[in-house]
Chain A
């Protein structure tokens, strides 16, 4: 048998285009860095860049979870509300435990509770989507509303604050450094590396990608489709829980507006990183680049008077629409 004639006419050209698509997020990142340098002398300082990285790591960890969900052709709109809900319960748990335990075990148990709540919330989303066969968009829109108002209710419209005695214990999780690297950045980097390996070198990543490409083909190829899709939502929940571990020590309080629009930021980061919204193609390191792009945009807006930083959300909204538009063209 001979090879079919419908292979690309100019493989070199196709290869170059593919390379450009792969490097796109990095080019955008470099462009933004140049723009930042021109806009403000403060931009290039190590302090500023570390600050951008540290602030990005919370969204970054969530966005890495979202990369798997979206690659499997799912969607989770509830991550922002889930983060607030998880953080709220975690703080309540710590405050409650502080009465009966010393500060350190209370804090550790509270943080463990955050991971458990995150995983549980992810499992609820996953069950409704996979077993209940309800559109992911609707399920997570619903759980977003539920968790958001639960936070408001728990905070009684105000805020849920960590007891003063506990603040010092968790503080290093956000403000601490290891070998000069802030802890959040380190956690983000470790999560990103683990996720990249899982995506490209583990069965799990292959199965997630196959399901996103064509769930029926995956099912007929004996891939446990339901279990894997479920796992992506639980993984997303665990990522939110991890992000919460970093978030809680940072501010020590949760308000009804905590985590507002984080889902927009996380999904935008995933999409501009080159992961296909229609599933079947996921790039973890692209998501990392995407998070940094969004972080730099916000940072540049903050450093310059050119555009109000209050328009940050508008930039993110525009970026996500443009990114999906470009994907549509490419496909």
Chain B
């Protein structure tokens, strides 16, 4: 794994966690989706949450971002116990989530998507109107900071590549003051080049002091940018490792339950 350090910025982040999840459980009827997951995220770090399909990653981040309410367990934001009733609560607490398929409406313009739900207004009630000039200007500026040069503010998100869409969503979250950014499989549908762009964006955001939660089942992408790695398997955390303490093979084993995968890899002749 020579690419490990490509996007890495130095020592691990220290300080108190911004968000702390303790022993989170979530049941859907008789189905136990999460059975005691603990996780925390600090400013300026990228904490990777790894797990195979069905491990509970999605349920866990949806709990963190206010979509699901935990059945049991404690959640703290900057030391205070919180209970989110909706995604809006989580957002107000500084937790922003970028879902792979639910981040943007492709047919709408970049500006509309960027400001969706938080459209800037001007004027006095009842004549408060959208401030479209300001919306366009800010969007263009934020996009060019992230290295995306739009043809114009009205360009539809659908004309951007997958990586660029992720970047728009990330830029939006950061602009609106996210302290913690949850990225749900941001690289899983992308090509190699697009993946690099997204990983570079993550690094940029982390350097601004945002805590990034990077969900993935791709160990290589995680190792390229992560500071800490937590593996989830069948609704439970198998442990958290710091950068340098684990290698790709170990993480892969933890995610998939080890032995069977090793046999598979043997027959395929390489690391998956």
Contact = CB atoms under 8 A, between A and B. Distances in A.
B102 A201 contact: no
A239 to B, nearest CB: 18
Nearest to A206: B119
B105 A202 contact: no
B130 interface: yes
A203 B121 contact: yes
Contacts of A213: 105, 107-108
Contacts of B164: 1, 3-4
A209 B67 CA distance: 22
Given A3-B151, A206-B116, A206-B119, A222 B105 contact: no
Contact of A202 (B67, B130, B161): B130
B107 A4 contact: no
A201 B129 contact: yes
Given A223-B117, A224-B88, A6 B105 contact: no
Interface residues of A, number: 25
Given A202-B128, A217-B104, A217-B105, A7 B117 contact: no
Given A4-B161, A202-B129, A206-B130, A222 B117 contact: yes
Helix, strand, loop or mixed for chain B's interface? loop
Interface string A272-306: 00000000100000000000000000000000000
Nearest to B165: A4
A220 B149 CA distance: 26
A201 B123 CA distance: 12
Nearest to B112: A206
B241 interface: no
Contacts of A222: 87-88, 91, 117-118
Interface in B88-111: 88, 91, 97, 99, 102-105, 107-108
Contact of B99 (A1, A4, A209, A220): A220
Interface of A: 1, 3-4, 6-7, 197, 201-203, 206-207, 209-210, 213-214, 216-224, 280
Task: List the 4 closest pairs (A to B, CB-CB), nearest first.
Answer: A221-B117, A4-B161, A222-B117, A221-B116
Interface of B: 65, 67, 87-88, 91, 97, 99, 102-105, 107-108, 112, 116-119, 121, 128-130, 132, 147-149, 151, 159-161, 163-164, 167, 197
18 contacts: A1-B148, A1-B161, A3-B149, A3-B151, A3-B160, A4-B164, A7-B159, A201-B130, A203-B121, A209-B108, A213-B107, A217-B102, A219-B87, A220-B103, A221-B117, A222-B117, A223-B117, A280-B107
Given A221-B117, A222-B118, 6 more contacts: A1-B161, A3-B159, A6-B159, A7-B159, A201-B129, A280-B107
